[in-house]
């Protein structure tokens, strides 16, 4: 991960902006640079992943233009060879050095050509203005706001902009901003016509495209690690990676010290694929002590995101403190594509598809945000194979009738796709998975709820929650999170669209807690 900022005007001087930029120095602790453009500034904190020498430091410059980018450009080597043949020269091994040549060749059309997880800011010298863009899923973070004089500014995280602008807004994924307007350049989830592939063809394509998505994310000059929960998604990423790399990989799992559910499954997978496996344990006190820090780091008040971040943050903290790992592969985005416990209640195929579209479109405010912040605050980089653009586009195009759980097993397509490979033990491939915030141990969520119950009387809860007319807290736990959020991001609650909850309009999903534990079909998931 890296941290970027861009200022279109010099409303503030360098000394004034530096403290705001340094709020995210953990994203890029290796080197820092702030440069002046004729009209504003570009800022970069570097975490060296590709091209580890100082030559890979940004901003990159070309004929008066500059770029800062937090991202990974997959397949950059053939693009680099092509650009070299066209007369461009390169001084580093950094993938991001190709961005300005691409801009010079293709202009704003460059963004639809990128196979990447990225957020970037270009200074266009011809127009003396900033161009900004974000990847189609929003895996890399970007926010924007306007200063007191109405000039736009961009930053990797909301916390960089709090105090500089009145309203902080998430930069919409799959968009670029140029010359005063936002333009959508990519839409992965709007399907004009569904694929006519039959089930076996679909599963074969899912298998091949996921392997390709994992493969391209294993290219790093810095040491790789893998988050392994013991559930299907992270287990597949780890198993595929182990085979592609042809060597022992390093895996990490976390659970509560007294009732961890998934640790035993993660250990089973690690043993099966021959991984160098590390278990991290967390306690009730660690969870409570870390709560405020986690919410301040995340920039959200959403219950699900905060719960799921506790284990991920503490696991990544241990990795940062105890290893030389710099890049982590994770299993996010599979649930939104293939369905989860509550999507078993989808009334029909179109409802399932509509829900998948909504969830993938909004992921940047929830699970993707969680993974980015938990990993980057510990000076690590996240890579998300299930977010591969080709993979996402294909799965979204699959006839939703095939994705409905009519098989007696959720995510059947994904499981069946790898059934013949024997990459995983049968009981893992066909296991009903618990949600991550439950799988670390049911006691963690119970502890957080109990802590909130102790903090507010019923009368205090009713009085305090009414202060918030936007997404009003509806439990003491949600009030606790909102109050901490407002302490660090006052008046910025609209950065998050809503509570990440099951679709309450579906029968069986009108619940008051986001945990799958409250659904009638949870069954043996938490055992």
Q: What DSSP string runs through 219-232?
A: --SS-EEEE--SSH
2 flagged as catalytic: yes
SS3 116: strand
Q: Residue 134: beta bridge partners?
A: 119
Q: Do 157 and 40 meet the contact criterion of CB atoms below 8 Å apart?
A: no
- Candidate list 2, 165, 238, 315, residue with the active-site label: 2
Q: How far apart are CA 155 and CA 121, in angstroms?
A: 9
CA dihedral sign, ordered 87, 57, 71, 42:
negative
Q: Nearest to residue 97, comparing CAs of 110, 88, 87? A: 88
**Paired sense of beta strands 116-124 and 129-134, if any:** antiparallel
Query: Are residues 170 and 299 in contact, defined by beta-carbon separation less than 8 angstroms?
Result: no
Q: Are 428 and 303 in contact (CB under 8 A)?
A: no
Q: Kindly state the tokens that stand for 253.
A: 């799992």
Q: Which two tokens stand for residue 386?
A: 């299930």
- What residues have CB less than 8 Å from 490, skipping those under 6 apart? 162
How far apart are the C-alpha atoms of 6 and 12, rounded to whole Å? 12
CB-count exposure of residue 116 (10 Å: 0-12, 13-18, 19+): buried
The pair of three-digit structure tokens given for residue 315, joined into one six-digit string? 């696991």
Residue 315 · residue 230 · CB < 8 Å = no
For residues 349, 356, 184, 8, the Cα torsion angle rounded to the nearest 10 degrees is 160
CA distance 142 to 161: 11
Strands 65-73, 116-124: pairing kind: antiparallel
User: Euclidean distance between the first and final Cα of the chain, in Å?
Assistant: 35
Residue by residue, DSSP assigns 120-154 as: EEEEETTTTEEEEEE-SS--S--EEEE-TTS-EEE
Residues 6+ apart with CB under 8 A from 200: none
Spatial separation of the C-alpha atoms in residues 473 and 469, rounded to whole Å? 9
Write out the two tokens for 428.
Answer: 């893992």
Query: Closest by alpha carbon to 154, among 168, 173, 175?
Result: 168
- Per DSSP, what are the bridge partners of residue 122? 67, 131
Q: Which residues are catalytic?
A: 2
């Amino acid at each position: 991960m890296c941290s970027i900022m861009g200022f279109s005007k010099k409303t503030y001087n360098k000394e004034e902006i530096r403290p705001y930029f340094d709020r995210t120095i953990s994203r890029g602790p290796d080197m820092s640079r702030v440069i002046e453009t004729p009209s504003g500034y570009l800022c970069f904190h570097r975490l060296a992943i590709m091209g580890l020498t100082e030559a890979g430091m940004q901003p990159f410059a070309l004929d008066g233009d500059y770029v800062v980018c937090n991202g990974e450009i997959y397949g950059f080597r053939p693009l680099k060879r092509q650009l070299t043949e066209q007369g461009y020269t390169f001084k580093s091994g950094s993938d991001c050095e190709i961005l300005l040549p691409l801009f010079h060749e293709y202009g704003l059309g460059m963004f639809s050509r990128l196979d990447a997880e990225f957020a970037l800011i270009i200074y266009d010298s011809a127009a003396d203005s900033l161009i900004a863009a974000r990847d189609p899923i929003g895996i890399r973070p970007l926010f924007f706001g306007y200063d007191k004089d109405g000039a736009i500014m961009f930053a990797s995280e909301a916390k960089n902009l709090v105090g500089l602008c009145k309203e902080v807004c998430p930069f919409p994924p799959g968009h670029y901003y140029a010359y005063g307007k936002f333009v959508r350049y990519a839409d992965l989830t709007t399907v004009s016509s569904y694929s006519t592939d039959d089930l076996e063809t679909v599963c074969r394509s899912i298998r091949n495209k996921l392997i390709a998505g994992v493969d391209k994310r294993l290219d790093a000059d810095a040491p790789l690690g893998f988050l392994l929960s013991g559930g299907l998604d992270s287990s597949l990423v780890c198993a595929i990676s182990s085979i592609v790399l042809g060597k022992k990989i390093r895996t990490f799992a976390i659970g509560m010290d007294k009732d961890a559910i998934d640790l035993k499954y993660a250990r089973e997978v690690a043993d099966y694929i021959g991984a160098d496996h590390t278990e991290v344990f967390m306690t009730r006190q660690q969870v409570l002590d870390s709560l405020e820090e986690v919410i301040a780091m995340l920039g959200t008040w959403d219950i699900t995101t905060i719960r799921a971040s506790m284990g991920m943050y503490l696991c990544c903290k241990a990795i940062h403190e105890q290893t030389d790992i710099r890049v982590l592969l994770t299993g996010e985005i599979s649930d939104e594509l293939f369905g989860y416990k509550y999507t078993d209640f989808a009334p029909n195929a179109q409802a399932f598809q509509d829900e998948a579209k909504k969830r993938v479109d909004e992921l940047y405010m929830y699970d993707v945000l969680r993974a980015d912040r938990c990993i980057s605050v510990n000076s690590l980089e996240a890579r998300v194979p299930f977010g591969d653009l080709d993979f996402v586009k294909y799965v979204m195009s699959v006839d939703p009738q095939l994705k409905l759980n009519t098989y007696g097993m959720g995510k059947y397509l994904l499981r069946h796709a790898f059934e013949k490979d024997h990459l995983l033990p049968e009981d893992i491939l066909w296991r009903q998975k618990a949600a991550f915030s439950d799988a670390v141990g049911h006691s963690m969520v119970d502890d957080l709820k109990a802590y909130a119950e102790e903090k507010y009387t019923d009368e205090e809860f009713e009085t305090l929650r009414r202060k918030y007319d936007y997404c009003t807290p509806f439990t003491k736990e949600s009030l606790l999170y909102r109050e901490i959020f407002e302490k660090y991001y006052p008046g910025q609650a609209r950065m998050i669209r809503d509570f990440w909850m099951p679709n309450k309009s579906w029968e069986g999903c009108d619940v008051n807690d986001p945990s799958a534990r409250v659904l009638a079909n949870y069954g043996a998931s938490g055992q």
